[in-house]
Amino acid sequence: MSEVSVADQFWFLNTWVTVRIAESEGRDQLSILEHRAPYGDSPPLHIHHTEDEVFHVLEGHFLFVIDGKEHHLGPGEFLLAPRGVPHQYLVESPEGGHWLTITTPGDFERFVRVTSRPADRQELPAPSGPPSEEVARNLTETAAEYGIEIIGPPLHV
């Protein structure tokens, strides 16, 4: 297992993301990102148009909504969100959630790198709440550049 440099750890909105395998490391542009998020965290409903996304839960409990179907996952369970299918998650555990996302090609990884700030500590960022309208608009525009279409609001507890 390779060492992770500080340059590969990010604060992506309210989550802490570590790039475990960068899409640039292999021939198939496989990317594995490790995420930690607080209770109630949820991305907006979105579609990856260029990549499949696998979620592997390490700790915590989640509600995933994929193509309108609800899936409750806990540690050790995984789920595929195929390219072109709307999906999102909600962290249901009071202690937060910890999971891996596996994508190919690595458009999501590149999106995270350009929209995040470097994590200078190995912990969740200070809570910032939902993004402002301006930040949400910028994220939506940037997401589109990486084949990700935002189509609805986040889930709520």
The domain locations on the chain are 8-154
Please write the tens of the pLDDT for every residue from 121-154.
999 999 888 889 999 999 999 999 999 999 999 9
Q: What is the pLDDT of residue 127?
A: 87
* CB 101 within 8 Å of CB 58: no
The correct CATH number of 8-154 out of 3.40.50.11540, 3.40.50.10600, 2.60.120.10, 3.30.565.10 is 2.60.120.10
Calculate the average pLDDT of the chain. 94
Q: What is the pLDDT of residue 27?
A: 87
Can you tell me the distance from the alpha carbon of 5 to that of 25, in angstroms, rounded to the nearest whole number? 15
Can you tell me the distance from the alpha carbon of 78 to that of 121, in angstroms, rounded to the nearest whole number? 28
φ/ψ (deg, to 5) at 110: -65, -40
- HSE-up (13 A, CA, CB side) for residue 125: 20
Give the residue with greater pLDDT, 141 vs 27: 141
